[in-house]
Amino acid sequence: MPVYLSQTLTDSLIDQTDAFLNKAVSEWQMLPHHQFGYKPSPEKWSANQCLMHLNSYGRYYLPLMEQAINKAIREKQQPAVRFTAGWLGNYFTQMMLPKADGIPAKKMSAPKDHTPQTNNDSYTVIAEFIEQQEKLLQLLRRSKQADLNKIRIPISIAKFIKLKLGDTFLFLIAHNYRHILQAERALQHAGVQLKKVDAFELSGLK
């Protein structure tokens, strides 16, 4: 399984999340709903629905991660120099990452609880996404005071299964990247010209 320098990994994920946040603030929230809510075809999601999907995951994971990190800090848990990915966490992360052309390597159906049922009010959806990315940045920075290997977070689809905090960060941010690329493709169909999102890059961290 991949082994990372904990601080280097966290800094890389901070940079990645900051890039997503900047895109939402400087580009997406300036767009009218008819563009951000544009569906390339009836069966495909709009950029708005991509963010609704991501927000639903954030509502589940972010509070759990915050509680776990705060508990570890209160208990004066010492951070580890290295983080070793678990086999399941690494599998989930790799499953989320797209191919070099940005297209998902494996298509998946979203769980019912995380499937957007509407396509309304993109301004509110983008605002929630921005708030969640700001919270995620806070958690990444606070996690430097804890052990990414020892903290465990239950996954949303089977709460009896728990991932290491480091794997949860990796999965969540890789999942964000997957659907941000999907949102960008929807916006291209809507005729919106935007800067390409930075690639999710983990090489050189081991």
The CATH number linked to 150 is: 1.20.120
pLDDT band of 204, cuts 50, 70, 90: very low
* Total tally of structural domains belonging to the chain: 1
169, part of any domain: yes
Task: For 63-85, write each residue's pLDDT tens digit.
Answer: 999 999 999 999 999 999 999 99
Do residues 127 and 149 lie in contact, with contact meaning Cβ atoms separated by under 8 Å?
no
Rounded to whole angstroms, what are the CA distances from 135 to 18, 129, 153, 159?
A: 11, 10, 17, 22
Q: Please say whether the beta carbons of 28 and 143 come within 8 A.
A: no
Instruction: Answer for the pair 80, 147: CB distance below 8 angstroms, yes or no.
Output: yes
Q: How does pLDDT run across 128-172, given as a tens digit for each residue?
A: 999 999 999 999 999 999 999 999 999 988 888 999 999 999 999
Structural domain contains residue 118: yes
pLDDT tens track for 83-98: 999 999 999 999 888 7
Q: Is there a domain that residue 198 lies in? A: no
Which pLDDT score is estimated for 139? 98
Tokens representing 6 are 């904990």
End-to-end CA distance of the chain: 11
Confidence of residue 101 (pLDDT cuts 50, 70, 90): low
Predicted TM-score (pTM) of this structure: 0.92
For residue 10, tell me if it sits in a domain.
yes
**Does residue 74 belong to any structural domain of this protein?**
yes
Phi, psi dihedral angles at 42 (to 5 degrees): -55, -30
The reply to whether 201 falls in a domain is no
pLDDT at position 70 is 97
Position 129 in a domain: yes
- Residue 18 sits in which domain range? 3-189
Nearest CA to 81 out of 170, 4, 2, 166 is that of: 4
Query: How many of the other CB atoms lie within 10 Å of CB of 173?
Result: 23
Cα(34)–Cα(149) distance, integer angstroms: 44
